[in-house]
Chains A and B, each alone.
Chain A
């Protein structure tokens, strides 16, 4: 009997939760705000779905209802990607060690 590919995805999902659990516990509490902004940025990888949605269908009619939702999602995700990574970068630049 073959294993349903869904089971493989579920395995990846569950293992990632464990990886996330251990990785996040090792994040130093002083960096919890950058942690939130960077997790925000990476969860915008949902843009992958938005791009597929925007480009779906025939190239003559690219503004069907489903495409429009795709384009809107691209804008939202792009705000998050650029905003999230840049604001994280800005914060991380500020963390400095004592000058000896």
Chain B
């Protein structure tokens, strides 16, 4: 296949990928969008085979490896529980990152296969592109592994900070840039390997100081990095599909990071530099005075909700941990039978990744037109009889509006306190991720339900 013809096909793939993302503007068009994505990928792969034109024994091996990886991927995709989606995505990011590193390595070892010159005499531009691609890919890989371990609970979600951390990261970053410059001058493979190794280290150091509840930002950021790594390799290979995709994914991840940071009213750098709540947690628990708390049981909760005319559900990460989404939907069904109007309110940073709660509710067969974003629903709390807070905490804390001293001051929150009564399902009065006490616990109209989210919801169903 001629180079021009294959370039046109790669362009078509790139356009199909744009349409794949475009489809996600509404749930109705999203499935079709996914098919566009699959079509784009199929075209790219077939065109690559045709343009390489080598159908010898190597081709058979390629197909075999493709099948091995593919069946592994398919197996994971069908088996993974929806609650594990954040760690799955983090894991997948690490694979893209590592694949980018490997492709860059082979391009460096055998540049003639990619028309980039010869070993020891690679075109300058290609050398810069492939080393940037390899460095970003390596950071994506090791960073995603750390994110994966934190999300999976293998590694503690607490931020790991030490003195001079940011200085070390800065020095390592500058070292990478310097090595890339040096590589262009001497083209030595040792320098190339050093760039890759240091980048692996940077990825780890970059993610360890970031705490568990900031994971939505981290995952989005790594998503963005995997895109830039792909784009870097795309420039090396002079491949349009890869360049377009890299740019799309890179900007997509960047926008998601921005949305997540805005949801917490924090700057991107504030999140990246890490360690939120790690320091002021102790000081807060010391000066906490005993305040009266009203606590209730499933019977009280069922009574309140049954007699309400409207209920808003506020799910959070705790719902995912307790796997309470199915029980929750059954409860809502029972309430609807009693003529109660029920809607769901989702905070942008609820859960461990963007849109986490929406997927879990969709899994439990909650229709998506009953689920609302913060701006859409926040005014409705004032007219609502009961707010049922299940597994959320910081995102409902009224302190964010009233106390300029609070670390979460200015964060957009769900105005749960405006509803006539609040049912707060929580195991204990312990503070949330931000390490601050939730004012809502002590309000006159709040009834605390101390229990596991799933168990409490099931008990309420029995009493309805």
Contact = CB atoms under 8 A, between A and B. Distances in A.
Interface residues of B, number: 116
Interface residues of A, number: 83
Contacts of B373: 29-30
A93 B28 CA distance: 10
Nearest to B21: A23
Interface stretch (B271-279, B280-288, B360-368, B406-414): B360-368
B255 A21 contact: yes
Interface string B286-327: 000000000000000000000000000000000000000000
A30 B57 contact: no
Q: Is the interface of B mostly helix, strand, loop or mixed?
A: helix
A16 B250 CA distance: 10
B241 to A, nearest CB: 5
B113 A30 contact: no
Contacts of B240: 9, 12
Given A40-B223, A51-B48, A66-B109, A85 B37 contact: yes
A51 B241 CA distance: 14
B41 interface: yes
A48 B99 CA distance: 11
A12 to B, nearest CB: 6
Contact of B103 (A32, A50, A82, A92): A50
B143 interface: no
Nearest to A53: B106
Contact of A98 (B22, B56, B370): B370
A17 B247 contact: yes
Interface string A61-100: 0101111011111111111111111111111111111110
A64 B67 CA distance: 21
A17 B70 CA distance: 29
Nearest to A5: B238
Q: Is the interface of A mostly helix, strand, loop or mixed?
A: helix
Interface string B215-244: 000011001001100110111111111111
B34 A76 contact: no
A66 B111 CA distance: 10
B68 A78 contact: yes
B89 A62 contact: no
A46 B355 contact: no
Interface stretch (B80-88, B178-186, B200-208, B428-436): B80-88
Interface in A19-76: 19-21, 23-57, 59, 62, 64-67, 69-76
A46 B242 contact: yes
Contacts of A88: 34, 37
A9 B243 contact: yes
Nearest to B248: A20
A79 to B, nearest CB: 4
B38 interface: yes
B18 interface: yes
A59 B245 CA distance: 31
Given A59-B57, A77-B95, A48 B242 contact: yes
B154 interface: no
Interface in B341-375: 346, 348, 353-356, 358-359, 362-363, 365, 367-371, 373
Nearest to B74: A82
Interface stretch (B58-66, B392-400, B448-456): B58-66
A80 to B, nearest CB: 5
Contact of A49 (B62, B85, B107, B259): B107
A92 B36 CA distance: 14
Given A9-B235, A75-B65, A42 B17 contact: yes
B73 interface: yes
B31 interface: yes
Contacts of A21: 251, 255
Contacts of A72: 102
A5 to B, nearest CB: 7
Nearest to B241: A45
Contact of A27 (B17, B25, B59, B346): B25
Contacts of A95: 27, 30, 362, 368
Contacts of B100: 46
Contacts of A54: 58, 61-62, 65
A45 B245 contact: yes
10 closest A-B pairs by CB: A78-B69, A56-B113, A32-B355, A83-B73, A16-B247, A82-B73, A32-B354, A20-B251, A53-B106, A86-B77
Given A12-B244, A20-B252, 15 more contacts: A25-B255, A27-B24, A28-B26, A29-B348, A33-B85, A36-B223, A38-B33, A43-B249, A46-B96, A50-B103, A64-B110, A69-B105, A73-B102, A81-B70, A93-B31
11 contacts: A9-B235, A28-B26, A31-B24, A31-B355, A42-B41, A47-B44, A51-B62, A53-B110, A54-B62, A70-B106, A76-B95
